[in-house]
Chain A
């Protein structure tokens, strides 16, 4: 029993929560902006690389000014030392969330907004292109090698016989904080309520005076920030690589559709189900075909219950 927990349940929980965080964004963007955002996986990767800079080089990566000051000799090297200190990966999550959200808003206003009023389907093509552009930008800047936040972590001895390492505790803690914050935002703030109203019925939301463009910006903030966090968590669990997010796109779509599009809580449930099924499937089929499981679930949902478990939108 304990072996089963160690071999499958831990991995399923980690993978499931990463899918959940990514799927919330996909689900909300689909419902509010009415298009399948194909670049969402690459927002995860973007978040992971943002953190990587902080982990490896410290705050200096965001600081051209002190760097200039240092090189010009206005301040001593030792004054910059604290800025060069590498961060703990868990601490980088908020920074990665902020910067990824800003970039997502920028991408939206440059490449998606022009099509908002006309054809939603063109936004799908555009986002497919954005996904490719982001991935080639990652390869250009960071190369194609794997990067790691930290060395391989052995299981904690104090938690014997469970095989849980420190990274799992950090990931678990971060997921609980992020999901709670999302729940607070959606359930108790005006913005969150407006977002849910818009994902239920955009036209009705507009005539009741909800500022739709502002809600769209908030949707990007929430979706991209959660995606970035998911990317950092995935990097903490495995590695950082230019295609890590793209490879997660299909299971995240599957999770969002399974949970019902426009249903953030459904996306969380869907993510956990897909993550669990994928990990458990390795008992019976080779791990190479893991991503086929998510896809099979998605096809079955689309055939038998296209609105998802929680009655999401059928656009």
Chain B
């Protein structure tokens, strides 16, 4: 019985983290999957969201580790602020960088993410420096276990479900078709009278807001947030692998990819834990190497992912015809 309880808690924890990751992958899906914006600054928006929500909702900081905070606002306010602030930063970044070609956008976003990370790590008056922010409230934490964990998971599931529903509506609407048109052929979309720059900015801002929300969710789940939590490896790179493996352009694929890749990542941790202490540290690097290799294999042989993007349907009812995906 004890084993079963532990297993359930583990599975709930796993699903919660994978669910939080899928908020990021859904955000990336709007940017890259649907609109073709090469955003590799996920870690930066993730950090903004996490720190914003943490600062607004955390208890006053202890004197040994002073940081801005002690506002103790309700958690939903923190989450909303996380999204708004990430979106605001994304708007500024997008205004400057979105007219650039994809490669430049990649360089610009990774640069901004690094600067955001450096700033949070060094600016201890705001974000606690390397000590981070602690004593962040967690929803349902006063409830008995395992219900607290289970309800937090349900909350994450609800958040993912709402986001999924909204994006799914969005990309099947004229708005979504314009986004895909921009991805496939920017000039043609512009020639059809679409305001390409504005649409791209929208996609970038919405996607980044979701990345900020993912950061906020994880800060409240972990109850503390340290600069290490914004490592580009987990916050940026894994999200990319998840989206590409799951099926870029498909929301179901984005969510499934988050669970599959997070599953592989967690399982590989189990395997390295079985090794002796000296090899366990080394094997941790091997895990990263394998994830890199997984990306290469997916890119070369399964580039459309587990659930490929659905081609849009033209016309209605009898006359509906499927467009071959290019």
Contacts and interface: CB of A to CB of B under 8 A. Distances in A.
Interface stretch (A47-55, A70-78, A123-131): A123-131
Interface in A87-142: 111, 114-115, 120-122, 124-126, 128-130, 132-133, 135-137, 139-140
Interface size class of A (residues with CB under 8 A): 35 or more
Given A129-B292, A314-B101, A114 B118 contact: no
A162 interface: no
Contacts of B291: 132
Contacts of B115: 291-292, 295
A286 B124 CA distance: 14
Nearest to A314: B101
Contact of A132 (B96, B118, B233): B233
Given A132-B233, A132-B291, A124 B114 contact: no
B111 A298 contact: yes
B85 to A, nearest CB: 19
Given A124-B38, A298-B111, A139 B285 contact: yes
Q: Is the interface of B mostly helix, strand, loop or mixed?
A: helix
Contacts of A302: 96-97, 100, 104, 108
A250 B292 contact: no
Nearest to B300: A114
A145 B19 CA distance: 35
Contacts of B240: 125, 128
A81 interface: no
Contacts of B110: 38, 250
A45 to B, nearest CB: 14
Given A129-B296, A314-B101, A288 B289 contact: no
Interface in B247-276: none
Contacts of B119: 289
A115 B296 CA distance: 11
A128 B108 contact: no
Interface in B271-326: 282, 285-289, 291-293, 295-296, 299-300, 303
Nearest to B286: A140
B107 interface: yes
Contacts of A122: 299, 303
16 contacts: A35-B103, A38-B106, A38-B110, A115-B299, A125-B240, A129-B237, A129-B292, A133-B288, A133-B289, A137-B289, A140-B286, A140-B289, A253-B111, A289-B119, A289-B122, A302-B104
Contact of B118 (A139, A292, A314): A292
A103 to B, nearest CB: 15
Contacts of B296: 111, 126, 129-130, 133
B102 interface: yes
Contact of A36 (B106, B287, B299): B106
A132 B286 contact: no
A149 interface: no
A284 interface: no
A315 B292 contact: no
A83 B111 CA distance: 44
A97 to B, nearest CB: 25
Nearest to B291: A132
A179 B317 CA distance: 67
A120 B101 CA distance: 12
Contacts of A314: 101
A220 interface: no
Contact of A136 (B114, B122, B289): B289
A121 B183 CA distance: 12
Given A125-B244, A132-B288, A132-B292, 5 more contacts: A120-B103, A129-B296, A139-B285, A250-B107, A299-B108
